[in-house]
């Protein structure tokens, strides 16, 4: 008899609130929406609050929209968190999309989702791959991007700095049990609470009929050499193209950079950003690694609030 683990994606917000000391009089108003971006292909998104969305949140590679839950709760604003193509509940990339790592391909799809769900959003926040997608979105649909927040993301994400991330992502395609999946996740994220990692897995993995577990994003991988969700596999030419897009950004831009060893950015990346956009703002988070939304969600939410919404 296969032991099934129950999953209610809207039933764990009280845990986020308790862990970070957020008020919790009642569950937040959150719904899941889908937008058709091509015939037979849809992107999925979490829409927070009943009012018109004021902010778009784009997660990193191998993550999903729920990575923003604590940030969204701390902001307490109408926001949309989109599952990138091939992640979360979204369909996989299209035939000519360029794969899960394609920031430009992602931007084409994300633009359609933003037009449908948050056309008047005051800013776009992108972490890691979501940050690269945000950069590409400024070229694909500049009218939809009024302010940019890049969370530990610049076109320099590559090389040895990303090794811990790529080692984790390029692990086994499936796991015999939830406990095996949790143990591996804890091992790669020693500074995070077990309860938060457990929530993250329930949102980002699914149990198959035979009882094994697979990552949601891994369902769309071919598992062929060179087809891994790895920043090191991105051609340098694509990074150069993204840097040129950065140079062309004319709206306010903020880089929120994690400073622990798990961060994938170096001082040279930050310097290159400021060389190309001298007016860009950079904020360092001493207690965060690559995933600021997981390591320091309240501090990140406060910075987003101040940068995007302060008059």
Catalytic residue (one of 69, 152, 269, 295): 152
Q: Is 240 annotated as catalytic?
A: no
Catalytic residue (one of 69, 290, 291, 295): 290
Catalytic residue (one of 128, 196, 263, 291): 128
Structure tokens at 39: 């015939």
- In terms of DSSP H, where are the helices of 55-157? 69-75, 103-117, 129-140
In whole angstroms, give the CA distance from residue 197 to residue 254. Answer: 28
In whole angstroms, give the CA distance from residue 31 to residue 81. Answer: 11
Helices (H) and strands (E) in the chain, counts: 11, 10
Q: Is 284 annotated as catalytic?
A: no
What is the DSSP code (8-state) at residue 308?
I
CA nearest 156: which of 37, 42, 270, 311?
A: 270
CA nearest 65: which of 49, 83, 80?
A: 83
What is the DSSP code (8-state) at residue 214?
E
For CA atoms 125, 188, 90, 264, the dihedral sign is positive
In whole angstroms, give the CA distance from residue 276 to residue 243. Answer: 8
Q: Is 203 annotated as catalytic?
A: no
* Residues annotated catalytic, as ranges: 128, 152, 290
């Amino acid at each position: 008899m296969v032991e099934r683990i129950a999953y209610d994606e809207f039933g764990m917000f009280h845990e986020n609130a308790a862990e970070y000391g957020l008020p919790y009089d009642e569950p937040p108003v959150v719904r899941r929406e889908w937008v058709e971006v091509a015939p037979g292909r849809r992107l999925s998104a979490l829409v927070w609050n009943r009012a018109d969305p004021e902010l778009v949140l784009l997660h990193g590679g191998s993550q999903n929209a729920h990575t923003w839950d604590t940030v969204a709760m701390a902001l307490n604003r109408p926001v949309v968190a989109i599952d990138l193509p091939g992640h979360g509940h979204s369909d996989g990339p299209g035939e000519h999309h360029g794969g899960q790592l394609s920031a430009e391909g992602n931007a084409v799809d994300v633009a359609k989702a933003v037009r449908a769900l948050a056309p008047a959003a005051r800013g776009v926040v992108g972490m890691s791959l979501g940050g690269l997608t945000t950069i590409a979105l400024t070229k694909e649909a500049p009218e939809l991007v009024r302010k940019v927040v890049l969370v530990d993301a610049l076109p320099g994400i590559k090389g040895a700095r990303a090794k811990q991330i790529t080692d984790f992502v390029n692990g086994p395609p499936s796991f015999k049990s939830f406990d095996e999946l949790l143990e591996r996740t804890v091992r790669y994220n020693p500074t995070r609470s077990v309860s938060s990692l457990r929530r993250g897995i329930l949102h980002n993995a699914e149990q198959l009929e035979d009882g094994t577990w697979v990552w949601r994003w891994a369902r769309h991988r071919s598992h062929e050499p060179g087809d891994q969700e790895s920043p090191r596999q991105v051609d340098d030419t694509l990074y150069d193209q993204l840097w040129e897009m950065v140079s062309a950004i004319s709206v306010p831009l903020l880089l929120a950079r994690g400073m622990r060893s798990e961060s994938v950015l170096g001082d040279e990346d930050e310097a290159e950003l400021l060389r190309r956009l001298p007016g860009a703002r950079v904020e360092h988070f001493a207690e965060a690694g690559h995933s600021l939304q997981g390591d320091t969600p309240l501090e990140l939410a406060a910075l987003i609030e101040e940068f995007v919404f302060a008059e």
